[in-house]
Chains A and B, each alone.
Chain A
Amino acid sequence: MLTRFNSESIKTSCFAVGISFGLIGFITLISAVGNFPDSSNSRTQLSLILSGLLTSLISAGLLKLAGKQEITRASKIFSLAVTSILSFIALSSIVYLLTGFVETLDAAIWESAAGITTTAISNIEIEKLPSSMHIYRSVSQWVGGLGVLCLVFVAMPLTVRKEDGRDLTSEGYASQIFSRDPKKKVKEFSIVYMGLTVIIFVAYISAGMGTFDSICHSLTTASTGGFSTKSASIGSYGSGSIEWVATFGMIFGGLNLGLFWWAWKKKFSKIKENTELRAYFFILLISILAFGLMLDRDFFDLETIRTAAFITASLLSTTGFTTVSWEFSSAMTTIALLVMATGAMTGSTGGGYRVHRVIMLFWYLRRESTIMHKPSAIRVMKLSGNKVLDRSLEKLHGYTAIFILLVAVGAFLLSLSSQHLTLQESISFSLSAMVTNGPGLLESTGVGIDHNVVSHLTLSALMVLGRLSILPVAYVVLFASTALKGVFLRTTEEVE
């Protein structure tokens, strides 16, 4: 067994788990500080402080044990990503259980997964949470967003084989935008991410939201997370200006962060030629128009446009903030599901199928039609000036198929676990979790999902799969199954 799980694998695992411990330590200590003036929740505060100190110590130990890690291979990156996120969820679940706001392990896993995967789904009575837990949840989502950026901008470029050619689109054009040195790259996009968070915070304050709520909401808006300090989300403020801030915040959150870097560097021509950006805004505008017309209100009323823009931004950026109940007509449901499935741009913290894949699929159809019509024609597909490789198309079709398959399997398991769930609801809840949005689209007679072990674990699995863009998880599962098969075969041979 040790030949499969050799010392290098153990060190990598230690490194991944160490990072998770470190993050949990960081988040819990910050949260405990956030609760400092309030002494009414001593159990929460004590749990957070103890968890923070303990996990920080363990993290330091594990990282020392792991030593310096050379991360160059795809397999290592994927193992690292999956181990980190799973260990984070495990540790965060313990924190939730210790604080006493969640009673069962599956519910704790669900809440933790929603946090780190930036999904706005929760079953906690939000209004009863102390401020420390609000900070904990918001920072979890913000850290989750940062993790996604690391995965796209730093890890993904390392997984590409030289003979396959560079897939710049999937990497969020990282090599064209940021420095080549990974450390510098992390620093650069972290600055952009923090800058965006600060701008949103200032905007929220200016719009009349309180300081504490502004901190929490700016963290979950920039990360397209969607957790709120109110059970009615942004709608609870009843403020048009706050809704506009949230709308623009979500729209910017769904953009490739590299575009902000380009804007900072005044490379406006690069921004202009970005096909994905144009498609993102095209989808955004069309959806706002469609929702505006279907909302059954006066289209030219500013409130209608604001509501339509808010819903679209929340769905497209996969944030999941709400101002109105997501109980739509059939036409709006179809558009909402499509927008939700499309998701944000690559290189953003948003989830979903991603805009660049939609463009590639559309162009693929066009190319195939041309080739049928003129078999000798050679039609090169380009995206933002970069040639789309055949290998990328192969991956695209595979991704499409597995994306739909996972949503279908998720819907199946959810409908098994929740007797009253309708077909539309099961599909929408499954899709919403998969794209890391959160809320499902309810039918007028719907009651939503039943909260039980199966539904919690199904949604958690979908959120993790969606957040990691499927492949890393699939790789680790395949690796584990191969390893276990090897162990099993060896054991059988030994017995014989």
Chain B
Amino acid sequence: MRLSRAIFTEGVYESATLNVIGVALLFLSPGLLVCTLVEWGSGSSHQEMALLGTTCLTLVIGMSLRTITSIADDSMEKPKAVFSVVAWSWVSCALVGVMPYLLGDVFAWSHFGNALFESISGFSCTGSTVLEDIESNGRGILLWRQMTQWYGGMGMIVLGVTVLPNLGVGGLKLMAAEAPGHKSDKLKAKSIDTAKSLWVIYFGITAVITFALWILPNISFYDAIAHGFSTVATGGFSTYNASIGHFNSYLAELVIVVGMFICAMNFNLQFIFLRGQGENKANRGKIKVFTDSSEWKLYVKITLLTVFGVFLLNWLLDSAPVGIAFRDSLFNVVALASSTGFGNVRPNGIGDFVLWGTATQLVLLFLMAVGGTVGSTSGGMKVLRMQIGLKALRRELKKLQHGKLVFPIKLGKTPVEDSIVASALGFISLFISFVIGGTLVATVCGGDDFVSSLSGAISAMSNMGPALGDAGPTSNFLEFSRIGRAALAVLMVVGRLEIYAVILMFIAPADRLKIRKQT
């Protein structure tokens, strides 16, 4: 049978969710194949069959779903359907992502939960790990682990958008659901072009970071690409137990700091800066693109001020040598502000931020919660929402002072609609509620330590990686109880999918997965 477009669009059953899950799984298979080859070529361990088996599995399931299902013309019109597709695709990828770990004996089958945690942590770009000894695993498996973050960075759905002309509908809505930020229709009129543009930028940044790391001494191409994947996705997984601290290189840290900082910036702005077309053509290559964005300015201010503040606290209060204080403060603040979560613990350094003063740790908690900018791969509440929240508070006070006057909230020179303000404030409240819920489950049901649970919940919701307390950069999330880890895994998904998609996912699950026969 000749593989034609019709096979993928005229399946017997109508289900947009299953069809897009099929697309997502098909996109995983090239990555898995590459990892199989790396594992086979490196000979570091014998986990290539696990990877090959998973490659076949994703191909078979993906092709089957695409063949037997189709998407009705009107099925992606409703927001709930779009959100549902996003959420279920995520869950499916995370479930399939478990297979290499289980088949390769990275985790025993009895520890399925740990494998799932690792997979969710990867696809959600969190970077929290439950691996006790990362370096004991094969290169292919570790590359897969890095790749899950890379895939997760822009999201399976953004990749899926490139095939949406086949599906015919919903491309822009998916973009809006997956990659929040400036309205995607401003980026480019057609969803296929939008997805391709973002893909090119994403790929380009990965290549630049990889190259910059590769030319540094003592960093192999494998290490460079593995950390390039993780950096661009603001994930935080490393192929070494000591994370970036393994290289003990100021230059490597600097490259990664710049990479993390850039990748937490709105990709739409980066697109306009690099490839602006149409009305944005005049702005191409101009720094004005960034400086005109009030969110970008606030993000830069927060990061710089925090680097300076944490440096002062480490230097003055904790008596660290000035050079080391600056180096470790810079790295860790940017790692947390971008929600990447790399560690740089090394001999003679102060990279283990769990040992920093309480005041400094509180600043780090704040950074974890805020995260990067919208439209980036970073997590957290996002700077824009914080900005709107602060402006809304200021408006409240002004209203008390001058009750009858109207005070529109503006971002730069653009007024913000009241519905967006309400949505941003509501999101902040929901974010806090989920953090409280996660902490409650971890401490009460799992008996975990309060500080670890609170910081773990914030870290998971912000897709950060390390936490404070017992789950710092030199430790792992095995410190948490099984229930605690389950709660944190849920928070990772909730945080990555920006809460609403997950809420919708569980409101009417039957409706989401209903398969009805075509008439």
* Most chain B CB inside 10 Å of its own CB: which residue of A334, A404, A411: A334
Assembled-state Cα–Cα distance A361/B503 (Å):
15
Assembled-state Cα–Cα distance A408/B444 (Å):
23
CB closest chain-B residue, reference A472? B400
B395-426 contact mask (Cβ, 8 Å, vs A): 1 or 0: 01110110110000000000000000110011
CB closest chain-B residue, reference A477? B397
Q: Which residues of A contact B448 (CB under 8 A)?
A: 330
Instruction: Give the distance to chain A from B488, nearest Cβ to Cβ, in Å.
Output: 15
Q: Are B422 and A390 in contact (CB under 8 A)?
A: yes
Given contacts A334-B443, A338-B440, A375-B79, contact A364 B449 (CB under 8 A): no
Given contacts A161-B403, A369-B504, contact A400 B428 (CB under 8 A): yes
Given contacts A334-B440, A373-B508, contact A412 B363 (CB under 8 A): yes
A-B CB contacts (within 8 Å), total count: 129
**In the complex, A198 has a CB within 8 A of chain B:** no
Q: Are B428 and A401 in contact (CB under 8 A)?
A: yes
Instruction: Give the distance to chain B from A395, nearest Cβ to Cβ, in Å.
Output: 7
B195-210 contact mask (Cβ, 8 Å, vs A): 1 or 0: 0000000000000000
Given contacts A75-B400, A373-B504, A373-B507, contact A400 B432 (CB under 8 A): yes
Instruction: Give the distance to chain B from A360, nearest Cβ to Cβ, in Å.
Output: 10
* Most chain A CB inside 10 Å of its own CB: which residue of B80, B396, B436, B449: B396
Q: Are B443 and A78 in contact (CB under 8 A)?
A: no
Q: Which residues of A contact B79 (CB under 8 A)?
A: 372, 375
Instruction: Give the distance to chain B from A170, nearest Cβ to Cβ, in Å.
Output: 13
CB closest chain-A residue, reference B366? A408
Q: Are A397 and B503 in contact (CB under 8 A)?
A: no
**In the complex, A124 has a CB within 8 A of chain B:** no
CB closest chain-B residue, reference A402? B393
Assembled-state Cα–Cα distance A161/B399 (Å):
10
**In the complex, B277 has a CB within 8 A of chain A:** no
A75, A330, A338: which contacts B436 (Cβ < 8 A)? A338
Q: Which residues of A contact B468 (CB under 8 A)?
A: 423
**In the complex, A238 has a CB within 8 A of chain B:** no
A331, A368, A421, A424: which contacts B426 (Cβ < 8 A)? A368
B350-366 contact mask (Cβ, 8 Å, vs A): 1 or 0: 00000001110111011
Q: Are A78 and B400 in contact (CB under 8 A)?
A: yes
Assembled-state Cα–Cα distance A430/B401 (Å):
29
Q: Which residues of A contact B362 (CB under 8 A)?
A: 408, 411-412, 415, 423, 426
CB closest chain-A residue, reference B358? A415
Instruction: Give the distance to chain B from A401, nearest Cβ to Cβ, in Å.
Output: 5
Q: Which residues of B contact A390 (CB under 8 A)?
A: 422
**In the complex, A394 has a CB within 8 A of chain B:** yes
Contacting residues of chain B (437-468) with chain A, CB-CB under 8 angstroms: 439-440, 443-444, 447-451, 453, 468
Q: Which residues of A contact B508 (CB under 8 A)?
A: 373
Assembled-state Cα–Cα distance A478/B393 (Å):
11
Assembled-state Cα–Cα distance A396/B433 (Å):
13
A386-425 contact mask (Cβ, 8 Å, vs B): 1 or 0: 0000100111111011101000100110011001011110
CB closest chain-B residue, reference A428? B450
Q: Which residues of A contact B359 (CB under 8 A)?
A: 412, 415-416
Instruction: Give the distance to chain B from A447, nearest Cβ to Cβ, in Å.
Output: 13
**In the complex, B372 has a CB within 8 A of chain A:** no
Q: Which residues of B contact A331 (CB under 8 A)?
A: 443-444, 447
Per DSSP, are chain B's interface residues mostly helix, strand or loop, or mixed? helix
Assembled-state Cα–Cα distance A75/B451 (Å):
40
Per DSSP, are chain A's interface residues mostly helix, strand or loop, or mixed? helix
Q: Which residues of B contact A161 (CB under 8 A)?
A: 403-404
Q: Are A398 and B392 in contact (CB under 8 A)?
A: yes
Q: Are A475 and B439 in contact (CB under 8 A)?
A: no
**In the complex, A365 has a CB within 8 A of chain B:** yes
Given contacts A334-B443, A372-B80, contact A404 B432 (CB under 8 A): yes
Given contacts A333-B443, A334-B443, A479-B401, contact A422 B393 (CB under 8 A): no
Contacting residues of chain B (354-401) with chain A, CB-CB under 8 angstroms: 357-359, 361-363, 365-366, 389, 392-393, 396-398, 400-401
Q: Are B450 and A368 in contact (CB under 8 A)?
A: no
**In the complex, A471 has a CB within 8 A of chain B:** yes
Q: Which residues of A contact B439 (CB under 8 A)?
A: 334
Q: Are A365 and B430 in contact (CB under 8 A)?
A: yes
Interface residues on A, range: 35 or more
B488-512 contact mask (Cβ, 8 Å, vs A): 1 or 0: 0000000000001001100110000
Instruction: Give the distance to chain A from B308, nearest Cβ to Cβ, in Å.
Output: 15
Q: Are A423 and B361 in contact (CB under 8 A)?
A: yes
Given contacts A75-B401, A372-B503, contact A397 B366 (CB under 8 A): no
Contacting residues of chain A (347-389) with chain B, CB-CB under 8 angstroms: 361, 364-365, 368-369, 372-373, 375
Q: Which residues of B contact A97 (CB under 8 A)?
A: none
Q: Are B358 and A368 in contact (CB under 8 A)?
A: no
Assembled-state Cα–Cα distance A331/B358 (Å):
21
**In the complex, B429 has a CB within 8 A of chain A:** yes
Q: Which residues of B contact A159 (CB under 8 A)?
A: 400
Contacting residues of chain A (318-344) with chain B, CB-CB under 8 angstroms: 329-331, 333-335, 338
Q: Are B393 and A369 in contact (CB under 8 A)?
A: no
Assembled-state Cα–Cα distance A161/B402 (Å):
11
B83, B317, B366, B443: which contacts A330 (Cβ < 8 A)? B443
* Most chain A CB inside 10 Å of its own CB: which residue of B317, B436, B444, B508: B444
**In the complex, A50 has a CB within 8 A of chain B:** no
Assembled-state Cα–Cα distance A75/B453 (Å):
42
A290, A335, A372, A416: which contacts B83 (Cβ < 8 A)? A372
Q: Which residues of B contact A401 (CB under 8 A)?
A: 389, 393, 425, 428-429
Assembled-state Cα–Cα distance A375/B500 (Å):
13
Assembled-state Cα–Cα distance A421/B358 (Å):
7
B83, B365, B429, B450: which contacts A397 (Cβ < 8 A)? B429
Q: Which residues of A contact B401 (CB under 8 A)?
A: 75, 475, 478-479, 482
Assembled-state Cα–Cα distance A415/B356 (Å):
12
Instruction: Give the distance to chain A from B117, nearest Cβ to Cβ, in Å.
Output: 21
Instruction: Give the distance to chain A from B309, nearest Cβ to Cβ, in Å.
Output: 10
Q: Which residues of B contact A393 (CB under 8 A)?
A: 422, 426
CB closest chain-A residue, reference B362? A412
Assembled-state Cα–Cα distance A232/B404 (Å):
52
B329-350 contact mask (Cβ, 8 Å, vs A): 1 or 0: 0000000000000000000000
**In the complex, A474 has a CB within 8 A of chain B:** yes
Q: Are B403 and A369 in contact (CB under 8 A)?
A: no
* Most chain B CB inside 10 Å of its own CB: which residue of A78, A372, A396: A372
A466-485 contact mask (Cβ, 8 Å, vs B): 1 or 0: 00000100110011001000
Q: Are A330 and B358 in contact (CB under 8 A)?
A: no
CB closest chain-B residue, reference A370? B507
Q: Which residues of A contact B428 (CB under 8 A)?
A: 397, 400-401
A365, A398, A412: which contacts B396 (Cβ < 8 A)? A398
A21-46 contact mask (Cβ, 8 Å, vs B): 1 or 0: 00000000000000000000000000
Q: Are B507 and A330 in contact (CB under 8 A)?
A: no
Contacting residues of chain B (270-288) with chain A, CB-CB under 8 angstroms: none
Q: Are B453 and A330 in contact (CB under 8 A)?
A: yes
Q: Which residues of B contact A396 (CB under 8 A)?
A: 429
B396, B432, B451: which contacts A422 (Cβ < 8 A)? B451
Q: Which residues of A contact B500 (CB under 8 A)?
A: 368, 372
A455-496 contact mask (Cβ, 8 Å, vs B): 1 or 0: 000000000000000010011001100100000000000000
Residues in B lying within 8 Å of A, measured CB to CB: 78-80, 83, 317, 357-359, 361-363, 365-366, 389, 392-393, 396-398, 400-401, 403-404, 421-422, 425-426, 428-430, 432-433, 436, 439-440, 443-444, 447-451, 453, 468-469, 500, 503-504, 507-508
| 15 more A-B residue pairs beyond the given contacts A330-B447, A335-B440, with a C-beta to C-beta distance below 8 A | A74-B403, A338-B436, A361-B433, A368-B500, A375-B78, A390-B422, A396-B429, A398-B389, A401-B389, A416-B359, A424-B450, A424-B451, A471-B396, A471-B400, A478-B398
Show 20 residue pairs from A and B whose CB-CB distance is below 8 angstroms, ordered by the A residue: A75-B400, A78-B400, A330-B450, A361-B433, A365-B503, A368-B426, A393-B426, A394-B422, A397-B425, A398-B389, A401-B428, A402-B393, A415-B359, A421-B358, A423-B362, A426-B358, A471-B400, A474-B397, A478-B398, A482-B401
